[in-house]
């Protein structure tokens, strides 16, 4: 039976589901953001795509709150045997930086969208009011931070994914496998 909660050895199903759901949505929001800002006013999607980007971004912020709460109330699985202390420190730094960058990207997205004092409508389900509206040139400044930190986030994803693939194909350990919810391997297990 797969476990919902993390154990000292492995990630539980909730942490795994939250990890991959957020990874997919963040990559999707990046692609969408990148594409939508180049649309011209006459494009039929000129208004729709930013509405979708903002709506999904706000829903993702709610998922992030759940994820942080879950992370803080669950044990963190120990690194797989063979991971060096330097790798452990680097991984921990990257994981914390992820949370920080995601929060700042979301918050600057909120500041761009509400700079004119109008609330963000989330697919007609609910809306998020404007609060901070008086930062000078708020829309442009928040837009720049949003753009550059979104690039930074993706650069970190590349590094993070490369590290996961290195564990899998070079070190041949279970780091990636346990984030995929697979049982510890028999394939390479005997000589580990």
167 or 191: whose CB is closer to ligand HEM? Answer: 167
Q: Does 149 bind ligand HEM (CB under 6 A)?
A: no
| Closer by beta carbon to ligand HEM, 92 or else 189 | 92
Do 149 and 107 touch, CB atoms closer than 8 A?
Answer: no
Between 62 and 189, name the residue whose CB sits nearer to ligand HEM: 62
Q: What is the closest distance, in whole angstroms, from the C-beta atom of residue 155 to ligand HEM in the complex?
A: 11
From the CB of 36, what's the least distance to ligand HEM, in Å? 7
- For ligand HEM, the binding residue among 6, 12, 33, 115 (CB under 6 A) is 33
Contact predicate 109/50, CB 8 Å:
no
110 binds ligand HEM (CB under 6 A): yes
Q: Is 181 left (phi over 0), alpha (psi -120 to 50) or beta?
A: left
Candidates 87, 121, 147, 171; binder of ligand HEM (CB under 6 A) is: 147
Task: Decide: 75 and 9 in contact? Cβ < 8 Å.
Answer: no
């Amino acid at each position: 039976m797969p476990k919902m909660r993390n154990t000292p050895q492995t990630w539980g199903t909730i942490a795994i589901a939250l990890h991959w759901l957020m990874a997919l949505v963040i990559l999707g929001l990046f692609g969408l953001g990148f594409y939508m800002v180049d649309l011209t006013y006459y494009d039929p999607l000129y208004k729709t795509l930013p509405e979708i980007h903002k709506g999904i971004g706000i829903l993702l912020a709610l998922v992030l709150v759940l994820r942080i709460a879950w992370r803080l109330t669950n044990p963190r699985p120990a690194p797989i045997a063979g991971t060096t202390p330097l790798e452990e420190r680097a991984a921990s730094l990257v994981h914390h930086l992820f949370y920080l960058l995601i929060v700042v990207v979301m918050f600057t997205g909120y500041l761009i969208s509400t700079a004119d004092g109008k609330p963000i409508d989330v697919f007609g389900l609910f809306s998020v009011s404007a609060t901070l509206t008086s930062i000078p040139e708020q829309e442009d400044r928040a837009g720049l931070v949003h753009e550059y930190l979104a690039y930074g986030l993706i650069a970190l994803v590349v590094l993070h994914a490369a590290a996961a693939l290195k564990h899998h194909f070079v070190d041949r350990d279970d780091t990636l496998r346990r984030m995929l919810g697979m049982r510890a391997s028999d394939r390479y297990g005997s000589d580990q």
